[in-house]
Amino acid sequence: MFKQFGRNRWRWLSGTSAGWFAVSVALSFVATSVVVTSCSDPLPMEAPGDLRDADVFDVIADAVDGDVEVDATDAKDAQSDVAPGEPAIAPVVVGLYATPALAVGASGVLVDGAEDGEMRMEAVLTSLAAGARGLVVEVEWEQLLSEEGWEPLTRLATFLARERKQLLLSIPVVEARADRRPEALRSVAWSSVVIRARIHDLIDQVFGRLGPDVTYLSLGMEVDLFIDAKPSVASEFATAMAEGIAYACTHPKRTTKTLVGVTWSTKAWQAQLGVERSLLTGVSDVVLLAHHGMEGTQQAQTVDAAVVQIREAIEAIEAFGGKPAVLHRVAGSSKGVGTTAADQAELVKQVFAVVQEKRARVPFVGVAALHDPSPESCQAFAQARVPSTSSDASGLYAFWCSVGLRDAHGVPKDSFGAFLHGAATFLSP
C-alpha cells in the first residue's frame, strides 16, 4: 500500500490506500519525560548492523540477470586499511527508492506495479540485493488518515529493522511549490491551532507505531521552493514546521536513533542563508537534501554541474554548524531532457565519489529510483514544480519518468551497474 512519488505515495505489503495527518505544534514545550532536549543538540549516530556481505552478493547476480559483475573485495576489506590508532571509517548507508516495475493487469494492460503486492515486495528485495542498506519511503499525509494506511508501513519498518536496514521516512507536508496537507486542511492558516494539533497527532503516530524503526524523518520535500513560491505565508509555514520538529525532538517515544528535519534542494544551499532556512535548520538535528539536476523546467544539468552543486551544498551545511548532511534523494535522468543513459550512470558514479570524499559528514545517500516511476507519479512530480498551471511541465515529466536505475519493465540501465559498484564500496562499514 504505498505508491512512491505519486499523489498516492505508497502501496506496499498490503493493498489499500489510506492516510496521515501532520502539521505543527509549539516551540515553547514542556521538557518532561523526554529523550533529548532539542534537535539542535548533537546526537550519536549508531553504526549500521552487520550485513552478511556474502548473502548480499549471492543474490546480486539474480538482480541484474548476470549482466554486471561486482567486486566485493573493497566492501569486505574497507576497514582493513585503517592503521592501528587511526579513527574508524565513518559508516555510510546507501538507500534506494524501491519503486516497482510495471505490472500486467487483468485486461493485459500495463499498470503501476505498486498495485501488485508481489511486485512491491520484489522491488524491496531487489533493492536490498543490489546493496542498498536502507530504503527511502515517501508517504502522502492524506493516505495515513485511516487505520488501514498504517499497516503496510508498519510491516515494512519491522521487516527493515529485522534485516538491520535503515528507513528514511518522508512525509511531505509540502513538496516544492505544492501544499501536500490533506485537502480539508489546505485552506487552514499555517499559524492555526488546528494545524499545530495535527502535527502533534502526526508525530505521536509516527513514534507510537514505528518507534526506533525510523532512522530519519523528513517532514517536507524541497521546502525552500515552497518558501520562495509562497512569500506571504513563508514565515508562518516555517514557524509551524519548526514547532513540529521541536515537538518531535522532545517526544518521549523518540530515541536518539531517529533524526528529524526537513528536506531542502541542494540549490538552496548556494544562496544566502534566509530567516526561514536558519530557523528550520537550527531546530533540526539533520539537514536533508534533494538533488534533481534540472536547469529550469526543460533541461537537465550537466553531470559536472550537478556534482559541484551537491558538493557545495554539503560543504555549506558543514560550515553552517556541522550537522549531518543526508542525501535524501539524488536523481538523474537517462533520456528526454538532454541526457543519456551514460550521463545517468556517470552521475551515480560521481555522486558516490563525492560521498566517499565527504563520508564523515554524509551518513546516508538515497538514490531515486529502482525503476522508472509511473506516469501518475511523473505528473505529480511535474505539477509540484512548475511555476504556474499554465507552464509547460513536459520537461519535468520526462525527467522524472526516466530517473530509474532500471526501466519501467525491469530492464537494467547503465546506472544500475554504477549503483551496484558504488553501493558495494559502502557495504562495510
80-124 residue pLDDT tens: 344 455 556 789 999 999 999 987 665 555 566 666 778 889 999
Joined together, the cell numbers standing for residue 352 give 558516490
Question: How far is it, in rounded angstroms, from Cα 260 to Cα 338?
Answer: 36
Q: How confident is the model at residue 261 (pLDDT cuts 50, 70, 90)?
A: very high
Hey, what amino acid is at 70? V
Q: Which residues of 283-292 are buried (b: 16+ CB within 10 A; e: fewer)?
A: bbbbbbbbbb
Pairing of strands 103-104, 110-111: antiparallel
Percentage of the chain with pLDDT > 70?
76
Domains delineated in the chain: 53-425 (3.20.20.80)
Beta bridge partners of 134: 95, 166
Hey, what amino acid is at 241? M
312-354 residue pLDDT tens: 999 999 998 889 999 999 999 999 999 999 999 999 999 999 9
Question: How far is it, in rounded angstroms, from Cα 427 to Cα 93?
Answer: 8
Question: How far is it, in rounded angstroms, from Cα 224 to Cα 226?
Answer: 5
Question: How far is it, in rounded angstroms, from Cα 395 to Cα 383?
Answer: 11
- Identify the residue whose cell numbers are 517526544: 251
Hey, what amino acid is at 270? Q
pTM confidence score: 0.83
Residue 323, CA distances (Å) to 40, 119, 356 in order: 8, 37, 17
* Cβ(303)–Cβ(343) below 8 Å: yes
Residue by residue, DSSP assigns 313-375 as HHHHHHHHH---EEEEEEE--SSSSS--HHHHHHHHHHHHHHHHHTTTT--EEEEE-SBPPPH
pLDDT at residue 296 above 60? yes
Q: Which of 429, 318, 369 is nearest to 9 (CA)?
A: 369
Element (H, E) at 84: none
371-423 residue pLDDT tens: 999 999 999 999 999 998 778 999 999 999 999 999 999 999 999 999 999 99
Residue 11 is classified by DSSP as -
CA angle 213, 218, 224 (to 5 degrees): 170
Q: Which of 33-37, 127-131, 305-309, 320-324 has the lowest mean pLDDT?
A: 33-37
* Cβ(32)–Cβ(239) below 8 Å: no
Q: Average pLDDT, whole number, for the chain?
A: 82
Length in residues, the chain: 429
